[in-house]
Amino acid sequence: MAAESKQEQSLLEKAQRVLPGGTFGNTAADLIIAEGKGSHVWDENGREYIDYLIGSGPMIVGHGHPEVTAAVRAQLERGTTFFANNPQGIELAAAIADAVPCADKVRFASTGSEADAFAIRLARAYTGRDKILKFEGGYHGYSDYGLMSLAPKTPGNSPQPIPDSAGIPESIKEDILVAPFNDAVAVESLIKEHPNAIAAVFMEPLQRLIPPQPGFLEAMRELTRAHDILLVFDEVVTGFRMSYGGAQQYYGVVPDLCTLGKAIGGGFPLSAVAGREDIMALFDANRTPAERFVPLVGTLSGNPVAAAAGLATLEILKRPGTYERYFETGEKLMTALSRSLESAGLEAQVVGVPPMFDVVFAPGDVRNYQDTARADSAKMAKLNGLLRERGILKGENKYYVSTAIDEQDVVQTIGIWSDAIGAMRST
């Protein structure tokens, strides 16, 4: 890595003084990103990276896209927040309702964690039931309910959930059931063991990087419908990324509710709960008995600056050919990474879909969290470090592809992979 500048060193020291662990909690403390443009970012020391972190997903059209920047700048001149309906938020809700198959109505929040927590509450209020069935390894935000069996140290404890954080009450365990992803038989068994008790099957249609097996999502739709359980898709990540209508459009399975985030805010804090008219009516005090009403109020919910950025982002994404090019780029990258690993003789595979993928250092099929838990995390950390040294920035377990990645980026990325993987093989 390049030598630290005095400015960077000063910031690192200040971060250690004022931040727990010297970090916001997202990335390593020694990484300070100062600028982003298109598909690249620069750290405080001026080192340039091809960006496959993209803010953990929101910058799907790249950093500083001129149309998004213009929309934000125009709104800034008119005001930053009002705690009231505004034209940009209304138009964004309409765009979401037009695009997302399950979305009759939309209600905004600020973060994916908030949207997921509200969707859980909404499902319970609608059904009058308390239990939520989720999948081991599924991420649904940082609420007490979301942080159950996301990354259990001893996987395979279905149906009992394991808290992923200190401070979560023991009582939470009573209302969460856990099943292995891609196992419809296990889900059906749990539903039958808890008749009339489960409010929702709450799931990522593509769990982290693991695709659903053929027929799995369809089975979830059939089972939930047969037992009067709501099917909720967490599309905070997959919404407007897998297709313009999200993973539910891509896979052809429509849930009752979904949550959205990341892409819909264009780089600003914004999320949403969207779904069927009769379920979403519980957010409307004028249409719902007081005992069933679910309040959802947020100081920045539907913020006009975030909505303006989101509208501009969606306008870019829905243009003809955008997703075809996007997937073509991702497929090139996945193929090249697989070939590089194979040529190096490493026991590893590329898992995911063209918009987001990564290496799993383990043999055999990857169908659920237990399969990913077999992976060699030390090798993954080693490769990530080698890549960062050579100018690729990514998350610990994911490459996010943006539409800003061009052919030159692809060629450069492949070269860096070859060099870094070669260095791994020689150590």
* Per-residue pLDDT at 153: 77
Contact between 145 and 176 (Cβ < 8 Å):
yes
pLDDT band (50, 70, 90) for residue 5: confident
Could you tell me whether strands 131-135 and 198-203 are parallel, antiparallel, or unpaired per DSSP bridges?
parallel
- Tens-place pLDDT, residues 367-378: 999 999 999 999
Q: How confident is the model at residue 97 (pLDDT cuts 50, 70, 90)?
A: very high
Q: Is the pLDDT of residue 243 over 60?
A: yes
Please check the confidence at residue 1 and state whether its pLDDT lies above 50: no
Active site members? 139, 234, 262
CB atoms inside a 10 Å sphere around CB 396 = 12
pLDDT at residue 37, as a whole number: 98
**What pLDDT shows up at residue 156?**
67
Q: What pLDDT, in 10s, does the model give residues 180-200?
A: 999 999 999 999 999 999 999
Q: What span, in angstroms and rounded, lies between the C-alpha atoms of 168 and 87?
A: 39
Residue of 43, 81, 39 lying closest to 64 (CA atoms): 39
- Report the C-alpha gap between 120 and 111 in whole angstroms: 14
Q: Is the CB of residue 101 less than 8 Å from the CB of residue 248?
A: yes
User: Mean pLDDT over residues 139-156, rounded?
Assistant: 88
Task: Report which of 189, 175, 270, 276 is spatially closest to residue 233, judged by C-alpha positions.
Answer: 276
**pLDDT over 90 at 248, yes or no:** yes
Which domains, ranges and CATH numbers included, belong to the chain?
6-64+322-425 (3.90.1150.10), 66-317 (3.40.640.10)
Q: Where are the beta strands (DSSP E) in 6-111?
A: 33-37, 40-43, 48-51, 105-109
Query: How much is the pLDDT for 262?
Result: 97
Q: What's the pLDDT at 151?
A: 86
Q: What is the SS3 assignment for 12?
A: helix
User: 207, 205, 209: which is closest to 219 by C-alpha?
Assistant: 205
Q: Span 84-112, mean pLDDT?
A: 98
Output the CA angle 33-394-331, nearest 5 degrees. 135
Q: What is the pLDDT of residue 267?
A: 97
Q: What is the mean pLDDT of residues 9-35?
A: 92
Distance from C-alpha of 215 to C-alpha of 425, rounded to nearest angstrom? 38
- Model confidence pLDDT, tens digit, residues 23-57: 998 988 899 999 999 999 999 999 999 999 999 99
Of 346, 370, 371, 349, nearest in space to 358 by CA = 349
Higher pLDDT residue, 302 or 158?
Answer: 302
pLDDT at 2 over 60: no
One-letter amino acid at 116 equals D
At 157, is the pLDDT very low, low, confident or very high (cuts 50, 70, 90)?
low
3-state secondary structure at position 166: coil
Write out pLDDT tens, residues 114-135.
Answer: 999 999 999 999 999 999 999 9
Q: Average pLDDT over the chain, rounded to whole?
A: 95
* Measured CA angle at 247 (ends 243, 248), to 5 deg: 110
Do 100 and 246 touch, CB atoms closer than 8 A? yes
Give the per-residue pLDDT at 152. Answer: 84
Report in angstroms the alpha-carbon separations of 420 from 219, 354, 368, 382.
Answer: 41, 21, 28, 9
Could you report the per-residue pLDDT of 329-348, keeping only the tens digit for each? Answer: 999 999 999 999 999 999 99
**Percent of the chain beyond pLDDT 70?**
98
pLDDT of residue 3: 59
What is the pLDDT averaged over residues 389-410? Answer: 97
Q: Confidence class of residue 238 from pLDDT cuts 50, 70 and 90?
A: very high
pTM: 0.95
Q: Considering only CA atoms, which of 262, 311, 312 is closest in space to residue 89?
A: 311
Alpha carbon of 413 to those of 32, 352, 354, 394: distances in Å?
21, 18, 15, 12
What is the mean predicted confidence (pLDDT) over 102-113? 98
In sequence order, the 6+-apart residues with CB closer than 8 A to the CB of 72 are 266, 268, 305, 308, 309, 312
